[in-house]
Chain A
Amino acid sequence: MSAMAAGNRLALLGLVLGAGAVLAAGLGSSFLPPGRVVAALAGGGAPMDSVIIWTLRLPRVVLAVLTGMALALAGALLQRVTRNPVAAPSVLGVTDGAALGVVAFLWIFSDDANALTVSIHWQPLAAMIGAFGFAALVALLTLLDPGGRSPLRIILYGVALAALAKAAVTLMMILGPIYRANQALTWLTGSVSAAHWSDAATVAAGLALSIPALVALRLPLRQIALDAESAAATGLALGRTQAALLSLSVLLTALAVSQVGAVGFVGLVAPHAARYIHGQFAPGYLVSTALIGGLMVLGADTLARIIAAPLELPAGALTALVGAPIFLWLLLKGRRAHG
């Protein structure tokens, strides 16, 4: 019975996301009503509509949805593995670490003519190195601190390291060639504006690869919601599970950030929204989280395109505008709950 209700909620979210995508694809310098968007998507409609939808707008819409999904899933995994509702890739410095990895990659592998000396396809790997490096630093600081297992301490370390990564990104931008400074907003706050089908394909492939891992980790992901002793006493291989979930979370973050930059707070807000409207132990919680994450980045990017048109805001600025107050609210709520 509750499974039916959960299914209905997921279907509804999927419909909202689909409708949002159609609407977003229609919005822009020349507005296309949803009917024409659907016709173009179905392969019919005017040839001009087809070009606008398929080559200009759809890659961006799809990339926004997919990166939102990856970030939201990364946040949900991180919140479970740290048993901390305030944990998220952007809060723990993983997002900015990934951005730093990308910027360092562009810095190191550019020649005098500002052309990359290696293939751009290495960019996700650079993001992964940065993300893992910063995740490892946060973990190390937390483990070395005798009082560091408390939920707030790990957040403090994460926020401090995120600030450090952001500063490093800013410095590289200012010290680097001008063209990189133009891209600064992308890597500092995240933007979907330069989307190509190949970017969307990279994120889609990464998400598709993570699905079998998520299915295999389905039960451990539930079990790890228990305290460490109870989880171990019921048969969970705690260390291995934590390592697997953390790695998956960092990989998903790096994947998203390597394509759209440091879009923050999606991994914090989407799992909470999914908890609220779906329930974190109802079947389909991760699907719900992913759909909400997709909707968030799509909404943020669409708004970023239209509120100040023809100027474009970075989508990450809007997710932070929504996410940061929610982060504060969660911190305050947690303080009350823990007395």
Chain B
Amino acid sequence: MADPFARLRAASAAYNRTRALDDVTLDLPAGAVIAFCGPNGSGKSTALRLMRGLHPPLRGTVEIAGRALPEWTPRALARAVAMLSQTPEAPPELTVGELVMLGRFAHRRRFAGPSDADRAACQRALAATGTEALRDRPIGQLSGGQKQRAWIAMTLAQDAPRIFLDEPTNHLDVAHAFEVLELIRRLNRQEGRSFALVLHDLNMAMRYADHVVLFCDGRIAAHGPTRQVLTEERVQQVFAIRCRIVQLAGEETPVLVPLPNASAADDAGLASAAE
């Protein structure tokens, strides 16, 4: 059996004493595209950051590929798991090519220039994200979408079998968002890489995720195969909205239609009536 992708055991975490994750136990199956969904502040990003060792758990343990997090050296962990955080930053004069090469840090020899393997990995990452033409462009001159794809290229260049992406479709228009998620699915199906993504768009999760972990108030409300987790009742309950899931003719993936809940709609109606 493939090694478990990542595992949280009774893990809690906090920022400045505000509880962000509350006694969460979670096994992520290897070889899948897993979406973390849930309202803002429900603990999705914290769970990712905890699993990547970017935030220490208050209680509980974290395992990557069957080994507890403290047993990993920083470089070995980076070769095992790559992660793109929500708001990455780099000096604006750094070119796309230089940024992507920074993704090779854990592989590079300390006292030599980039190896052929480093160059090849960067080339593949640039090609996969369609950023080859931007290679010599400083990232300060890129549009939001181009920048996001450059950062994804840096993450891919790390050549890790497991990849965490915190809102990878941030700043992307619909077409580029589809492109990125298609790329993720391709890398998953063809190269067997495991993905865990924070996704806000539930329809994107419906279409591209094999598994969904639904977070609510620092706990896990549901976890499992996508269509079993994303149901009308569950989405209504977790997001406190109304929601319909409809099947369009000729489309295999059902469409989730979020609607304002009854009381919010009433309030809006009252407000406009009062004007």
Q: Could you tell me if A227 and B53 are in contact, using CB atoms closer than 8 angstroms?
A: no
Q: Could you tell me if B91 and A280 are in contact, using CB atoms closer than 8 angstroms?
A: yes
Q: A219-B108, A280-B93 are in contact. Are A234 and B103 (CB under 8 A)?
A: yes
Q: Could you tell me if A223 and B91 are in contact, using CB atoms closer than 8 angstroms?
A: no
Q: Could you tell me if B94 and A281 are in contact, using CB atoms closer than 8 angstroms?
A: yes
Q: Could you tell me if B53 and A232 are in contact, using CB atoms closer than 8 angstroms?
A: yes
Segment of B82-90, B189-197, B266-274 engaged in the interface with chain A? B82-90
Inside 8 A of B73's CB, which chain A residues have their CB? Answer: 237
Is A233's beta carbon under 8 Å from chain B?
yes
| Interface bits A198-237 vs B (CB < 8 Å: 1, else 0) | 0000000000000000011011001101110110111111
Inside 8 A of B108's CB, which chain A residues have their CB? Answer: 219
Q: A232-B54, A233-B54 are in contact. Are A281 and B105 (CB under 8 A)?
A: no
C-alpha spacing A220/B87, complex, angstroms: 21
**How many interface residues does chain B have, given as a range?**
20 to 34
For A240, give the chain B residue with the smallest CB separation.
B74
C-alpha spacing A234/B154, complex, angstroms: 9
C-alpha spacing A33/B27, complex, angstroms: 78
Is B181's beta carbon under 8 Å from chain A?
no
Inside 8 A of B223's CB, which chain A residues have their CB? Answer: none
CB distance from A219 to the nearest CB of B (A): 6
Q: Could you tell me if B94 and A234 are in contact, using CB atoms closer than 8 angstroms?
A: no
C-alpha spacing A234/B106, complex, angstroms: 6
Q: Could you tell me if B78 and A233 are in contact, using CB atoms closer than 8 angstroms?
A: yes
Q: Could you tell me if A279 and B93 are in contact, using CB atoms closer than 8 angstroms?
A: yes
Q: A215-B111, A235-B74 are in contact. Are A227 and B90 (CB under 8 A)?
A: yes
Is B244's beta carbon under 8 Å from chain A?
no
Q: Could you tell me if B91 and A225 are in contact, using CB atoms closer than 8 angstroms?
A: yes
* Most chain B CB atoms below 10 A, which of A216, A234, A280: A234
For A239, give the chain B residue with the smallest CB separation.
B74
Inside 8 A of A219's CB, which chain B residues have their CB? Answer: 105, 108, 110
Total interface residues on A, CB under 8 Å, equals 22
Q: Could you tell me if B98 and A281 are in contact, using CB atoms closer than 8 angstroms?
A: yes
Q: Could you tell me if A233 and B93 are in contact, using CB atoms closer than 8 angstroms?
A: no
Q: Could you tell me if A237 and B74 are in contact, using CB atoms closer than 8 angstroms?
A: yes
Q: Could you tell me if B105 and A235 are in contact, using CB atoms closer than 8 angstroms?
A: yes
CB distance from A147 to the nearest CB of B (A): 12
Q: Could you tell me if B89 and A226 are in contact, using CB atoms closer than 8 angstroms?
A: yes
Inside 8 A of B85's CB, which chain A residues have their CB? Answer: 227, 229-230, 233
CB distance from B63 to the nearest CB of A (A): 18
| Interface bits A97-134 vs B (CB < 8 Å: 1, else 0) | 00000000000000000000000000000000000000
Inside 8 A of B87's CB, which chain A residues have their CB? Answer: 227
Count contacts between A and B, CB distance < 8 Å.
Answer: 74
Q: Could you tell me if B105 and A229 are in contact, using CB atoms closer than 8 angstroms?
A: no
C-alpha spacing A229/B155, complex, angstroms: 12
For A225, give the chain B residue with the smallest CB separation.
B91
Q: Could you tell me if A222 and B102 are in contact, using CB atoms closer than 8 angstroms?
A: yes
For A220, give the chain B residue with the smallest CB separation.
B105
Inside 8 A of B49's CB, which chain A residues have their CB? Answer: 229
C-alpha spacing A216/B90, complex, angstroms: 22
Q: A216-B110, A280-B93 are in contact. Are A234 and B158 (CB under 8 A)?
A: yes
CB distance from B50 to the nearest CB of A (A): 13
| Interface bits B3-27 vs A (CB < 8 Å: 1, else 0) | 0000000000000100000000000
C-alpha spacing A236/B88, complex, angstroms: 15
CB distance from B239 to the nearest CB of A (A): 27
Inside 8 A of B16's CB, which chain A residues have their CB? Answer: 146
Is B44's beta carbon under 8 Å from chain A?
no
Q: Could you tell me if B110 and A233 are in contact, using CB atoms closer than 8 angstroms?
A: no
CB distance from B81 to the nearest CB of A (A): 8
Q: Could you tell me if A226 and B90 are in contact, using CB atoms closer than 8 angstroms?
A: yes
Inside 8 A of A146's CB, which chain B residues have their CB? Answer: 16
For A226, give the chain B residue with the smallest CB separation.
B90
C-alpha spacing A272/B88, complex, angstroms: 23
Contact of B74 among A225, A227, A232, A279 (CB under 8 A): A232
For A241, give the chain B residue with the smallest CB separation.
B74
| Interface bits A36-54 vs B (CB < 8 Å: 1, else 0) | 0000000000000000000
C-alpha spacing A223/B106, complex, angstroms: 10
* Most chain B CB atoms below 10 A, which of A216, A226, A230: A230
C-alpha spacing A279/B74, complex, angstroms: 29
Q: Could you tell me if A230 and B106 are in contact, using CB atoms closer than 8 angstroms?
A: no
For B164, give the chain A residue with the smallest CB separation.
A233
Inside 8 A of A234's CB, which chain B residues have their CB? Answer: 78, 82, 102-103, 105-106, 154, 158
Is B52's beta carbon under 8 Å from chain A?
yes
Q: Could you tell me if B78 and A226 are in contact, using CB atoms closer than 8 angstroms?
A: no
Inside 8 A of B77's CB, which chain A residues have their CB? Answer: 235
C-alpha spacing A113/B108, complex, angstroms: 59
C-alpha spacing A237/B74, complex, angstroms: 6
C-alpha spacing A218/B114, complex, angstroms: 13
| Interface bits B40-76 vs A (CB < 8 Å: 1, else 0) | 0000000001001110000000000000000001110
Is B79's beta carbon under 8 Å from chain A?
yes
Q: What are 26 contact pairs spanning A and B, CB under 8 A?
A: A215-B111, A216-B111, A223-B102, A223-B105, A226-B88, A227-B85, A227-B87, A229-B54, A230-B85, A232-B53, A232-B54, A232-B74, A233-B54, A233-B84, A233-B85, A234-B78, A234-B102, A234-B105, A234-B158, A235-B75, A235-B79, A235-B106, A237-B73, A237-B75, A280-B91, A281-B98
Interface residues of A (CB under 8 A from B): 146, 215-216, 218-219, 222-223, 225-227, 229-230, 232-237, 275, 279-281
Other contacts beyond A229-B49, A230-B84, A281-B98: 6, CB < 8 A: A215-B111, A229-B85, A232-B54, A232-B74, A234-B103, A237-B75
Which 3 pairs show the lowest CB-CB distances between chains A and B?
Answer: A235-B78, A235-B106, A227-B89
